[in-house]
Structure 1
């Protein structure tokens, strides 16, 4: 039923997006159409990566899902940078970190916990990811803000680029560690369980083709979506920060939201956790640093500097997630706790 709704939204939304853009429809109407269409296209990206994940295993599958899920946000962010909307880009990436750690993981734990009293995932991966999360947010994000207080703009940008290069190198090293040198060393019992020999929905060729077509469509719509932000913000009284942290982040991560919750409902917690935490790490250690470097080629460069509200929100989310996930188990109450934290932060950013 859900797939049919997304199919209908896609086949109606894509033509309407093109027609509305050419005929210059109302920015608010176009904003709604663009967001719904991107979410529908993200569902196809999620289904395609899920098909590939069944063949590749939980780690590769989670990585693929996170990568193509973040591709939507990366595309939106690049066009936002091109338009000079640096504040929205930083806010959307903050929202992605908060959304993945609190909303995606929270919904996964909650929905899975309603069906199963106690769910387990790889405790070794959880602890490994916790260390990287602490490094990425509490070192790589907080340190630039502290040290840049007495720096001019050029030095701030130089510091940001240097940290970005280190983050990218460390992220690639982390992938090499998990997928090559220590693959299978920290195995978990649940990874050996066969889940009813599930067959992929689509073959490898079709899944890759769907991913490619959906990504191109998302790129086209995203380019026009960013031009509606100012009008929408003025019309609803929303701040640039709220649009980035809540609206853009939810739209950009729609594929991951759906996939992670579905995996948790099927008791495939290794994949669900890899999607939620792995996606956060990819945003913090790869997507954001890449955007900092890409911004050097645009008129407005983007230093790796967040507001104190954004930093405190991200640090609090990381600490909460580390405490909850470090035992390698989850239940519905832990999921509800994460969701409650996300709602509290959402109210704060809305009223800011």
Structure 2
């Protein structure tokens, strides 16, 4: 039923997106069409990565899901940078961190917890991710903000480039650690359970083809979506910050949202957590630094300097997530706690 709905949305949304952009329809209507189309495309990306996850196991599957899910946001952000919307991009990065840690993980824990009294996942992965989250968000994002207070604009940009380079190197080292040198060292009994007797929806070749085509389509729709931001913000009275933190983040991460919840409902918590937390780490340690380097090719470069509300919100989300996930055990109430935190922050950013 759900797959049929997304097929209908895609079959209607993609042609309407193309026609609407060519005929210059009303921006608000186009904004809705583009968002629905991207969410429908993200569902196909989620299904394709789920097929690959069954073949590859939870770690590779979670990484693939996060990577292709974040590809949507990366594409939207690049076009936003090209349009000079640096504030929207920084806000969308904030929104991704908050969305993945509080909304995606929260919904996964809540939905899974309604079906299962108690759900467990790798405590070793949880602790490993905790350290990286502390480093990526609290150290690497706070330091540029603090130091930039007494720096001219050019030096702030140089600091951002240096921090970005360190983040990318450490992220690649973390992948090498997890997937090569220490693969299986911290394996938990039953971690791959449920994959051996489950058949993927699509073969490996078909899944990769779907991912490729969906990514190309998302790139086209995203470029047009960016051009509607200003009109929509003016019409509804939304701030640049709210559009980035809430709207772009939810649309851009729709693939992870759907996949993580589905996996949690099937009690595959290792991959659900890997999607939510792994996606956050990829945003903070890879996507954000890459955008800093990409921005150097545009008129307005993007320093890795967030506003105080953005920093406090991200740091709070990281600390709360670590407190809840560090025991490798979760339930519906812990999920509800994360969702409550997301709702409070959403209200704050809306009123800011």
Rate the CA distance shift 1:159–1:335 in 2: closer, same or farther, 3 A.
same
**What is the distance in 2 between the residues matched to 1:246 and 1:193?**
35
Are 2:126 and 1:163 aligned? Answer: no
How far the C-alpha of 1:194 sits from its partner, in A, is 3.6
How far the C-alpha of 1:195 sits from its partner, in A, is 5.1
**Map of 1:43 onto structure 2:** 43
**Map of 2:55 onto structure 1:** 55
**What is the distance in 2 between the residues matched to 1:246 and 1:29?**
19
**Map of 2:152 onto structure 1:** 152
**Map of 1:345 onto structure 2:** 345
**Map of 1:214 onto structure 2:** 214
Equivalent residue runs for 1:80-229 within 5 Å: 80-194=80-194, 197-229=197-229
How far the C-alpha of 1:196 sits from its partner, in A, is 6.7
Rate the CA distance shift 1:168–1:196 in 2: closer, same or farther, 3 A.
closer
Contact 1:9/1:36, CA 8 A, preserved across alignment: yes
**Map of 2:239 onto structure 1:** 239
Q: Secondary structure at the match of 2:191?
A: helix
**What is the distance in 2 between the residues matched to 1:67 and 1:122?**
21
Are 2:244 and 1:256 aligned? Answer: no
How far the C-alpha of 1:84 sits from its partner, in A, is 0.2
The answer for unaligned runs of 5 or more in structure 2 is: none
Q: Secondary structure at the match of 1:190?
A: coil
**Map of 1:332 onto structure 2:** 332
**What is the distance in 1 between the residues matched to 2:67 and 2:326?**
24
**What is the distance in 2 between the residues matched to 1:302 and 1:60?**
31
* 4+ residue runs over 3 A deviation: none
The answer for unaligned runs of 5 or more in structure 1 is: none
**What is the distance in 2 between the residues matched to 1:62 and 1:111?**
18
Contact 2:57/2:192, CA 8 A, preserved across alignment: no
**What is the distance in 1 between the residues matched to 2:9 and 2:139?**
42
How far the C-alpha of 1:154 sits from its partner, in A, is 0.5
Are 2:279 and 1:282 aligned? Answer: no
CA shift digits 1:189-220 (9 cap, x unpaired): 23153457110000011101100110000000
**Map of 2:230 onto structure 1:** 230
Q: Secondary structure at the match of 2:202?
A: coil
**What is the distance in 2 between the residues matched to 1:128 and 1:329?**
15
**What is the distance in 1 between the residues matched to 2:256 and 2:137?**
21
Contact 1:161/1:293, CA 8 A, preserved across alignment: yes
Contact 2:20/2:30, CA 8 A, preserved across alignment: yes
Rate the CA distance shift 1:192–1:229 in 2: closer, same or farther, 3 A.
closer
Between the two proteins, the alignment pairs up a number of residues equal to 352
Contact 1:81/1:298, CA 8 A, preserved across alignment: yes
Two-structure CA RMSD over aligned residues (Å):
0.7
Task: Tell me the TM-score normalized by structure 1.
Answer: 0.99
**What is the distance in 1 between the residues matched to 2:162 and 2:323?**
30
Equivalent residue runs for 1:311-330 within 5 Å: 311-330=311-330
Task: Tell me the TM-score normalized by structure 2.
Answer: 0.99
Contact 1:109/1:330, CA 8 A, preserved across alignment: yes
Contact 1:120/1:190, CA 8 A, preserved across alignment: no
**What is the distance in 2 between the residues matched to 1:83 and 1:154?**
21
Q: Secondary structure at the match of 2:301?
A: coil
